Each structure stands twice: as structure tokens, then as C-alpha cells.
């Protein structure tokens, strides 16, 4: 499992969301590294990490456990948040404090398959620069910010995506779902941090969250949507730092 680590102090592990990578978290890693040893990982089938035929949350939680080795605070966004929750529920001895960014332990109905189709639709033989790929994507992905995010996973020189698009497409139902038979409860401190403009964590999800994470606290970042760490990095950092104990 590929990862980047900076800083010293108490350990923090960061798990990114679908189509993301460790590099998406560079700003947060650098800022928190003054007080913590911060490791951001590339999840399986993403970034520089190995590709695998399975992309279930039990698999991803096992990857995170291996990356931690011992024990750490764990921060996860979206898909990474679900993997972090499964880790906390199945191996609570690995997790000190848990921060789940804008996701709940429930199945969602909105698929993300359209972005896989968009990436598959790029004729990589005609890509000399990232701009070439951006212009091709623009016809199907009008949002400039979304295109920029997806293009972070394009290896321009190698003319390949650093995403296992075939497996991610095949496993999409598992990715937007959540395992229902884990049988565990995480009694440790947990923060469910959401974007105030996002609808991923709804009031009706709180009962489920409290059942699995009885000590969960809830907070929202004003003006932020689902990509709260990218949209409001300073506010996100401040919330993480406060929950993890200020300066560590």
C-alpha cells in the first residue's frame, strides 16, 4: 500500500475517497505534521497502490490495519470514511480517535459510475498534456473542479489512469453500500464531520451512527459541501486538530 508520511508525534492515518489519492491530502498532511506523524495512503486500486480484484470495505479496512501496524488516530473521507468505520468496528484496538468526513454507515443510492464512463471515454492516444484530457472530459463532465480532481489520477506520460476503472465499476454497488453484518461497536471517541452544504449525512442517519458509534459527536463546516477538506482546508484542519487534542 503506497503512502506518504510527514511530521512527528501521535500517529494520524488519512484514507481518501473514491477516485482520490494521498496527494489530494498534501495540504492537510503538511499542516498537521507540526504536531502529528501524518500518513496519507493510496487506497487499493487508486494512486500508486496495488490493484486488486476486490474492492469491499472489509478488504480496505484490512489494508488500513496493515498500514497502521499498531495504533493511530484515523481520518477517512467518503469511501475512506466507510473503510475507516469498518476498521474501527472490526479492529477497534487499531483506532484511537476516529474522524469520519461527510459519510454515514449506510448504503447510498447515487452511483459514481458516470465518472468511470467519462474517464474510459478519454482517448489516451491523443493525450500529450493534461489539458488535452481536460478538453475531452469537458464534454461529459462540465464541472471544472471535478475534472481537475479526476485528472490528478491521470499518468500523462504513461497515458494511463492510476485507477483500476474496471474493478471500481464492477464493485460500485459495494462502494456505495455498507457492510451490514460486522457485529461490532466502536466505543472510542468519534467525530462525524460534515459539510453544511452536503446531504451525505442526514438527520435520519444519526440513529444508525449512534448505534455503531455510541460516543459519536457531530459537527458541520459552514459553506462546505462533500469535498469539505478541499473546499475549507483551514476549517477542516482546525476541527481535526481540536478533536485530536490541539497540538497532539
Residues designated as active site: 78, 166, 226
SS3 at position 225: coil
> What cell does 51 get?
490493484
> What are the DSSP E strand ranges found in the chain?
3-6, 11-15, 37-41, 72-77, 95-101, 154-155, 160-161, 190-195, 216-221
Eight-class DSSP state of 43: P
Give me the DSSP letters along 181-193.
-------S-EEEE
Residue pair 32/94 in contact (Cβ under 8 Å)? The answer is no
Give the CA radius of gyration of the chain: 17
Question: Are 216 and 191 spatial neighbours (Cβ–Cβ below 8 Å)?
Answer: yes
List Cβ neighbours of 231 (8 Å cut-off, separation of 6 or more). Answer: 195, 223, 224, 225
CB 70 within 8 A of CB 45: no
Nearest to 98 by CA among 205, 18, 209: 209
Amino acid at each position: 500500500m503506497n503512502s506518504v508520511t510527514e511530521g512527528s508525534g501521535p500517529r494520524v492515518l488519512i484514507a481518501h475517497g473514491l477516485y482520490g489519492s494521498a496527494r489530494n491530502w498534501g495540504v492537510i498532511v503538511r499542516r498537521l505534521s507540526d504536531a502529528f506523524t501524518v500518513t496519507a495512503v493510496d487506497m487499493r486500486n487508486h494512486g500508486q497502490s496495488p490493484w486488486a480484484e476486490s474492492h469491499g470495505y472489509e478488504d480496505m479496512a484490512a489494508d488500513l490495519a496493515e498500514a497502521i501496524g499498531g495504533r493511530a488516530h484515523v481520518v477517512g473521507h467518503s469511501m475512506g470514511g466507510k473503510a475507516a468505520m469498518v476498521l474501527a468496528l472490526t479492529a477497534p484496538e487499531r483506532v484511537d480517535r476516529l474522524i469520519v468526513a461527510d459519510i454515514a454507515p449506510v448504503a447510498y443510492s447515487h452511483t459514481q459510475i458516470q465518472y468511470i464512463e467519462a474517464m474510459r471515454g478519454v482517448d489516451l492516444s491523443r493525450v500529450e498534456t493534461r489539458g488535452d484530457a481536460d478538453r475531452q472530459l469537458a464534454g461529459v463532465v462540465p464541472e471544472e473542479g471535478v475534472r481537475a480532481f479526476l485528472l490528478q489520477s491521470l499518468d500523462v506520460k504513461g497515458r494511463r489512469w492510476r485507477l483500476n476503472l474496471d474493478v471500481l465499476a464492477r464493485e460500485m454497488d459495494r462502494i456505495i453500500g455498507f457492510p451490514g453484518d460486522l457485529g461490532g461497536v466502536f466505543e472510542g471517541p468519534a467525530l462525524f464531520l460534515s459539510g453544511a452544504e452536503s446531504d451525505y449525512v442526514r438527520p435520519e442517519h444519526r440513529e444508525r451512527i449512534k448505534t455503531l458509534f455510541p460516543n459519536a459527536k457531530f459537527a458541520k463546516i459552514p459553506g462546505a459541501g462533500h469535498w469539505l477538506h478541499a473546499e475549507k482546508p483551514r476549517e477542516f484542519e482546525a476541527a481535526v486538530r481540536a478533536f485530536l487534542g490541539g497540538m497532539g
